[in-house]
A and B are shown apart, each in its own frame.
Chain A
Amino acid sequence: MSARPLSRLFSNCARRQAAFSLGPASISIPSTQASSSSSSSASASSASTSSSTPCYDPSLTAALPPLRYHIFREPLPYPLGLKLQNDIIDVRLEAKKRDPVGSRGKGDVVLLLEHTPTYTTGRRDNSPNPDELHPEEKKVQNVGASFYITKRGGQVTYHGPGQLVGYPILDLNVMETPTRCYVEYLQAMLAEYAREDLGLQNVLAPHPDGHVGVFASPTEKFASIGIHLRHRITSHGFAMNITPQPIPWFDLVLACGLADVRAISLHDLLARAQSHSHSQKSVEVIPPVPLTVRDTAEALIPKFGEMFNREILPLEESTEMETKSNLSGSGREGEEEVAAIRRLVERAEEEARVENEKNGGWPDRPDLSKRG
């Protein structure tokens, strides 16, 4: 993987954003240098134009503790994943209250997983008539997946095996990262993976019309983003289709509120690129081993570290600080926070295993025979 300088990635973000007007293009980042101007620039900000002000200064977070990650062994039923994220945030908010300085960044964790077949939507759909089903939910009655209304941004989507789901639980205040920059970084990271690691051409992030996500063309989407923030700590995150397995499920709904866009997977795109290059050469090309969800999860780990300029370690790994756990004060408290998160994650793995066993697994494809 190429060691790509962070600054190049971010200036690309700013240029692309300026071209597609993703949001207010200029932003004053509070830093020790800009302190006098940050709260008095109110009138200037509304006249924002395409500015190449980078969203993020890596040097600001170099001093934070390592990011932690966990790649789940077991596909999670959706409500388990939701409860886990909220429990982790509760632990973090408690730790922050007890020790606002010492806890900084300690509990930043990235969860990588698959879900069992599930449809979800965001909070714009949150005040339905309780007697009426959401229109998209009506379409997928009895196909073998549940439908949940969540507190994240974004609209209807599908999660299931063959799709990598990522839940970075990060304190954006501590990382001094504005919300919209965080969304852009996730988007840029997924696009970079597709372009650089997989060699795919024509990757669009965002869509030419400004829609957030990662697209293979104006009508094909392979990665989505939807975030929820509680006191500036993130939950939910991103989802990327690795194998074609999610596609028939996606085809049953109007995903992301985009009528002309269809879901596509990295497998489909790699096969397309393969056959295209094959047709141009006379040499037989041996197809590579198919990409797995786990392969992608592992490839994204170092990218998270690079993106946020932090060391990134498995959640299970104890740091030197932790083994010297007879330290008093904030050192030990912080390690207790990580240990508490570790326990929550292990409990979720076990509960998922038990539930999946009880249900006899999950359907491979949607059952179209019983729809209303």
Chain B
Amino acid sequence: MLSLRFARAASALRTVAAPKPVSRAMRFSAVRFASTRYTTDHEWVTFDGNTNVGTVGITEYAQKALGDVVFVELPGQGSEVAQGDSIGAVESVKAASDIYAPVSGIVDEINEALADQPSLLNKAPESDGWLCKVKLSDPAEFEALLSAEAYKAHCEGE
């Protein structure tokens, strides 16, 4: 009986769009491993439940649409950001696209490599070309982002 209840609650956590209150035990098991979610602005966040830090970047889809990246503007280390805030931009072939904070928190670290090698964003947008790391103020925001399947559907549907 107990295990059935556990399974139902866990699946509710994964598929529901808005965060619902779940017992602490359920939540802990769901976020034990780092997982990646996406936004409709073509950004990804990989969240580590242990450190509460989310690594942020742009997706392959976004990189392909931009062209050769020549410049990346990033938020200041230590700055506080709210979900949806414009936190910088990616410039390519004369077009500067704003990037947005997918989650709220404090900017822990920025990817210094991008200053000398903006092309990392084209070559490895979902790994070495990460933009910044944010210490989340509200992990529930992460849970409300798009899953990989939902993001893929968004790309195909728009």
Contacts and interface: CB of A to CB of B under 8 A. Distances in A.
Contacts of A230: 86, 98
Interface in A165-180: 173-174, 176, 178-180
A38 B95 contact: no
A123 B68 CA distance: 17
A227 B98 CA distance: 11
A157 B101 CA distance: 30
Chain A interface residue number, banded:
35 or more
Given A22-B67, A42-B126, A45-B64, A183 B95 contact: yes
B140 interface: no
A176 B67 CA distance: 15
A23 interface: yes
Interface string B66-96: 1110010100000000000010010111111
B94 A39 contact: no
A152 interface: yes
A176 B95 contact: no
B155 A39 contact: yes
Q: Which of B41, B95, B100, B158 has the most CB of A within 10 A?
A: B95
B156 A229 contact: no
A98 B65 CA distance: 26
A151 B98 contact: yes
B96 A180 contact: no
B13 to A, nearest CB: 24
B122 to A, nearest CB: 7
Given A22-B93, A123-B89, A229 B98 contact: yes
A24 B71 contact: no
Interface string A25-58: 0011010100100110010011000000000000
Interface string A212-236: 1000000000000111111110100
B158 A153 contact: no
Interface in B105-122: 122
Contacts of B94: 152-154, 183, 212, 225-227
A182 interface: yes
A299 B91 CA distance: 30
Given A123-B91, A179-B97, A180-B95, 9 more contacts: A23-B68, A30-B61, A35-B156, A123-B96, A126-B73, A151-B96, A179-B95, A183-B94, A230-B98
7 contacts: A23-B93, A124-B91, A183-B93, A183-B94, A183-B95, A227-B96, A229-B97
